[in-house]
Amino acid sequence: MTHCKRGLVAGILFLAVVLTPVAAVSGPFEGGQEAFKSGDYETALSLWRPLADQGFANALQNLGIMYAWGTGVPQDYVQAHMWFNLAVSRSRPGERTYDTAAELRYAFADLMTPAQIAEAQKLARQWWKRRKREWRPLGEQAE
């Protein structure tokens, strides 16, 4: 990855975590943002993972960010792509989460092999099948 592209992606990642709106999920999500900003990635992960399990797009996106950059978890582009796919599927075009997650998914796909992308898509489908009964309707999502 070139320095320019890496810097752009780093800036997007930071802004996505810090500026993600929190209207529908103020407690744990906001706590995760504060923990992330202060470098307590374990707490951020522990607060966002249950929200991701419920299908909250912002939490799904932030897990993708953590895996994309290896922040608090091992860097894993396959996992990052999977989480970004799920975030896109749980948001609507034009929403900040949708746009950011889609942009990040494409940016990191450029760094992956076709086999890695296929694996990420397979993992997202498997995750969706396991979790969709627990997910809240899209109308209950934070924008």
pLDDT band for 8, please (50, 70, 90 cuts). Answer: low
Indicate whether 23 pLDDT > 70: no
Indicate whether 22 pLDDT > 90: no
CA torsion angle 119 120 122 125 (round to 10): 170
pLDDT, one tens digit per residue, over 108-135 is 999 999 999 999 999 999 988 887 766 6
Indicate whether 12 pLDDT > 70: no
pLDDT band for 24, please (50, 70, 90 cuts). Answer: very low
When pLDDT is averaged across residues 6-17 and rounded to a whole number, the result is 53
CA angle (106 as vertex; 86, 74 as ends), nearest 5: 65
pLDDT, one tens digit per residue, over 40-95 is 999 999 999 999 988 899 999 999 999 999 999 999 999 999 999 999 999 888 88
What pLDDT does 119 receive? 98
- Cβ–Cβ < 8 Å for 55, 136: yes
- Cβ–Cβ < 8 Å for 47, 31: yes
What pLDDT does 128 receive? 84
Domain ranges (residues) in the chain: 3-135
- Cβ–Cβ < 8 Å for 134, 55: yes
What pLDDT does 143 receive? 38
When pLDDT is averaged across residues 22-49 and rounded to a whole number, the result is 86
What lies within 8 Å, CB to CB, of 43 at 6+ separation is 31, 32, 35
